[in-house]
Amino acid sequence: MYKTKSDPEAFFALLRATPARVAVGVGLIAFVLYLLTLAPTFGYIDDGELAAVASTLGIAHPTGYPTITLLGKLFTLIFPVSDIVALNVLAALFVATGSSVLTLLYVRLLRAIVLIRSNAEKGKKRKREKHKKIRSDRVISNGEISVLAGLSALITVTTGIWWRQSTGFEVYALHCLMLPLTLFLFFRYIDQEASRSGEEIPWDHSAIPESKRIGYTKRGFFFGLVLGLSFTNHMTTILLAPGLLLYYFWRLGFDPDSFRRLLYLIPSFVIGLLPYLWLPLRAASNPEFNWGNPETLWSFWRHVTGAQYEVWMFTEPRVFAEHTQSFLGTISTELLFVGMGIALLGIATLLRKERGLALCFGAILSLSLLLALFFDGENVAMILLPFIGLLLLMGLALFYFTKQGNNRQKSLPAGLAVMAAFLFLTSILYGGGYSILDIEQYYLTAILALGLWLLFGLVRLHDLFGRSIALAFSGFLAVGVVLFNYGGADESGNYLVEDATVNVLENAPENAIIISGLWDFWLSGSYYMQAVKEIRPDVTVVDHNLLKYGWYIDQLRANSPEFMALIKKEVDAFQVEQYKFERDLPYDSRIIDRLYVELIDAMIRENLGKRPVLVTFDLNERNQLGEFRYGNEWPSPKKRVPWHLTYMIVPEEKYVSQKFPDWKFRFWDGKVDPYVANTYKWYATSARDRAQYEALYGHDSLVNRYIQLAGTFDPGWDEGDYKKVEHLLPGRIVE
């Protein structure tokens, strides 16, 4: 039964717990937590590049991310701190604002379900009236709706996966705002369109339209606009489509009028996509960072669709089980396991009146997760087809089990349950098929679905045990989730990438060339440090992994013309085959690989004696035959001189002295993950290799000093810590 805030039993009304105030409160709490755990600088993977692109108004890696680039630049202009700090604060602000919107979304959905339940109760026999006094504490009030929604939102946005999107400048921070905002506007739009069909919407009186004629509406305009803008931030917005389309047609009917309504959304959706026009316009001015050079129609389409990522999508069946197990294990732990139980209770609550659908739902969801968890075949289609089939079956089940016509509102809880299931499963399907290391961000849609189920699980506790127990439990769960996930989300001590970037650049000889493929560990950061902080602009940095793309070679020509002029012959020969590779024309992989290696070798050879040439450890490893893939003309350990965190290739076997390292290095206490582990290993092995080099010349005192230096990079982990990363470390960081 639903009561207003004037009911004396609704004691939260005394606190004036209105939706707006609770939403602001949740946003402020989240913002404070995010600021406390905020990274002081850029972190691993793409953070440095995205910060550099926003600061210089360049073009980021696919899909370009024009919206967050432009917003980021604006924020750096109005926030009087260093660009990277301003951008990190903006990320925290995005996610915190998203938590406020998520609260309002949960309030809206909960109000709808409570009112529907209240209306159903009015039609029941009056014999239940004698129990009214006994069960009065189980009547949910307006204030309790707001508080339960706020606590559910707080739990959702303080799961470790969601929280980690707030600690540094990345596109997923804005995604954490766009996802709940898109859903909130979608439900407002659907309610208004349903009212045009004669449905009463008691939880939103403003949904009553002035005209029942199908056409443009403000709600439709803003929904389409935000949906388009969300696509300009991250293409995984598409994961909302199956669930929202199913809910749309179920609520409004699968008829010509529903398709006509969709047509009226197209103009505002297209307007929302307009930030993409920034990419070709900016590319035409040849910015310093011009990833993909999306100036032509071909390059623009390739860039915004992320064509270069196709090689990692649905190509390795083994990752389905790995990613799904990792996500479910991580999110269950972050919700303290009991949160997952409450989410399952929420599913049961929403499907309580539809037993047939509940059985179908449970069977489909269980079978889907079992396939994802335990599938270990070699053909990816063997899991893709069952998943797609299960999604279609769930859609058919929803259409079959939910009543049509005047009973649509009665089955609204079941509709929400299955819509959330679609959001969850499509996210699992996509994340399971994308073979990359940093995958957790792609499960944000699944976490949103879990949060919705969690909300109604807490409501069921309210029904079963009363307001005092339900609200106390919800509050304790929220506090527990915050306390448990704080350490895992805390980036406030992460200086590792900035320090590594500075140590590589600052210790490079004058006018050095550095060839590397360590994007995640320092190359991305070098974009920011060189372009924004203007640290060592004399150093030419080459990412050898990006040489396979024509736009990158063009960027090197524009930014380092003298360097590229020396290897014009090799570049021209390579680009003939590269052109075929990029445009999916027939090419010989052996030829292009040979020309690729020759190009890198030419970069080394043509500059020896003219400019210092440095490579990082990924180019200094021997194959099984004991040969170097790159620079094999200089195989002698005396011609590959360990130089701080790099290796200097020299033409002659003579001793090269270096000043004993005074590396800027700040430990990240208590953090254990593969990136941190390999960062410590990088320093330790660099010092060890220098010790071995000094031993070749009999410099025993220096040998001992470098061995001692290597020992300082042992993080002091215990056996459990090493087990977390042992599959990535061939031995201890310091032997």
Beta-sheet strand order (sheet of 640-643): 540-543, 513-516, 613-615, 646-649, 640-643
Is the pLDDT at 526 greater than 90? The verdict is: yes
Is the pLDDT at 644 greater than 90? The verdict is: yes
**For residues 493 and 669, is the Cβ–Cβ distance under 8 A?**
yes
**What is the mean predicted confidence (pLDDT) over 101-121?**
87
Q: Which of 385, 261, 411 is nearest to 314 (CA)?
A: 385
**Structure tokens belonging to residue 526:** 């070098």
**For residues 482 and 156, is the Cβ–Cβ distance under 8 A?**
no
Q: How many other C-beta atoms can be found within 10 angstroms of the C-beta atom of residue 108?
A: 19
Q: Which of 531, 490, 536, 532 is nearest to 514 (CA)?
A: 536
Ranges 197-211, 392-406, 462-476: which has the least confidence: 392-406
Tell me how many degrees the CA angle 569-571-576 measures, rounded to the nearest 5.
Answer: 100
Query: In angstroms, rounded to a whole number, what is the distance separating the alpha carbons of residues 476 and 473?
Result: 5
pLDDT for the residue 385: 67
Ranges 153-157, 232-236, 246-250, 261-265: which has the least confidence: 246-250
The partner residues of 290 in beta bridges, in order of sequence, read 59
Residues making up the chain, counted from first to last: 735
pLDDT for the residue 257: 87
The kind and range of the H/E element at 195 are helix 171-196
Structure-token match 């919107």, residue found: 101
Is the pLDDT at 199 greater than 90? The verdict is: no
**What is the mean predicted confidence (pLDDT) over 510-519?**
96
Q: How confident is the model at residue 394 (pLDDT cuts 50, 70, 90)?
A: low
**What is the mean predicted confidence (pLDDT) over 578-583?**
89
Burial bucket for residue 698 (CB in 10 Å: 0-12, 13-18, 19+) = exposed
**What is the mean predicted confidence (pLDDT) over 350-358?**
77
Q: Which of 411, 499, 441, 456 is nearest to 682 (CA)?
A: 499
DSSP secondary structure letter of residue 640: E
**Structure tokens belonging to residue 549:** 């793309």
Burial bucket for residue 46 (CB in 10 Å: 0-12, 13-18, 19+) = buried
Beta strands at 540-543 and 513-516: parallel, antiparallel or unpaired: parallel
**For residues 604 and 502, is the Cβ–Cβ distance under 8 A?**
no
pLDDT for the residue 120: 63
**Structure tokens belonging to residue 484:** 């448990």
Query: In angstroms, rounded to a whole number, what is the distance separating the alpha carbons of residues 506 and 496?
Result: 15
DSSP secondary structure letter of residue 434: B
How large a percentage of the chain has pLDDT more than 70?
86
Q: How many other C-beta atoms can be found within 10 angstroms of the C-beta atom of residue 65?
A: 27
pLDDT for the residue 185: 97
**Structure tokens belonging to residue 680:** 């410590």
**What is the mean predicted confidence (pLDDT) over 73-78?**
96
Ranges 35-49, 92-106, 243-257, 468-482: which has the least confidence: 243-257
pTM above threshold 0.85:
yes
Beta strands at 513-516 and 613-615: parallel, antiparallel or unpaired: parallel
Q: How confident is the model at residue 552 (pLDDT cuts 50, 70, 90)?
A: very high
Is the pLDDT at 708 greater than 90? The verdict is: yes
Tell me how many degrees the CA angle 561-566-568 measures, rounded to the nearest 5.
Answer: 85
* Long-range CB pairs of 15-21, under 8 A, 24+ apart, other chains included: 15/143, 16/143, 17/142, 17/143, 17/144, 17/146, 17/147, 18/143, 18/146, 19/103, 19/104, 19/107, 19/145, 19/146, 19/149, 20/104, 21/146
* Long-range CB pairs of 285-288, under 8 A, 24+ apart, other chains included: 286/558, 287/56, 287/57, 287/58, 287/59, 288/56, 288/58, 288/531, 288/559
Query: In angstroms, rounded to a whole number, what is the distance separating the alpha carbons of residues 425 and 422?
Result: 5
* Average pLDDT in the chain: 87
pLDDT tens-place string over residues 646-656: 999 999 999 99
**For residues 429 and 100, is the Cβ–Cβ distance under 8 A?**
no
Q: What SS3 state is found at 606? A: coil
Query: In angstroms, rounded to a whole number, what is the distance separating the alpha carbons of residues 151 and 137?
Result: 19
Q: What SS3 state is found at 642? A: strand
Q: What SS3 state is found at 633? A: coil
Q: How distant is the alpha carbon of residue 191 from its chain centre?
A: 30
Query: In angstroms, rounded to a whole number, what is the distance separating the alpha carbons of residues 357 and 394?
Result: 9
Q: How many other C-beta atoms can be found within 10 angstroms of the C-beta atom of residue 119?
A: 15
**For residues 168 and 438, is the Cβ–Cβ distance under 8 A?**
no
Query: In angstroms, rounded to a whole number, what is the distance separating the alpha carbons of residues 88 and 218?
Result: 33
Cα–Cα distance list, 130 to 118, 120, 126, 141 (Å): 17, 18, 8, 20
For the chain, the 3-state helix, strand and coil shares in percent, each to the nearest 5, are 65, 5, 30
User: What's at 463, amino acid-wise?
Assistant: D
Q: What are the start-end ranges of the H helices in 253-354?
A: 256-272, 278-283, 297-304, 318-334, 338-350
User: What's at 545, amino acid-wise?
Assistant: N
Is the pLDDT at 16 greater than 50? The verdict is: yes
pLDDT tens-place string over residues 333-349: 999 999 999 999 999 89
Is the pLDDT at 674 greater than 90? The verdict is: no
Q: How distant is the alpha carbon of residue 105 from its chain centre?
A: 21
Cα Dmax for the chain? 100
pLDDT tens-place string over residues 371-390: 666 666 666 666 666 667 76
Residue 63's contacts (CB-CB under 8 Å, 6 or more residues apart) are: 234, 235, 303, 304, 305, 306
Query: In angstroms, rounded to a whole number, what is the distance separating the alpha carbons of residues 610 and 233?
Result: 44
**What is the mean predicted confidence (pLDDT) over 427-455?**
92
Q: Which of 151, 139, 161 is nearest to 3 (CA)?
A: 139
Domain boundaries, the chain: 14-122+138-489, 496-638, 667-735
Q: How confident is the model at residue 169 (pLDDT cuts 50, 70, 90)?
A: very high
pLDDT tens-place string over residues 214-234: 888 899 999 999 999 999 999
Q: Which of 149, 170, 242, 184 is nearest to 446 (CA)?
A: 242
**Structure tokens belonging to residue 653:** 């076997």
Q: How distant is the alpha carbon of residue 445 from its chain centre?
A: 10
The region that residue 218 occupies, defined by phi over 0 for left and psi between -120 and 50 for alpha, beta otherwise, is alpha
Q: Tell me the DSSP string of 10-67.
A: -GGGGGT--HHHHHHHHHHHHHHHHHHT--SS--TTTHHHHHHHHHHT-BPSTT--HH
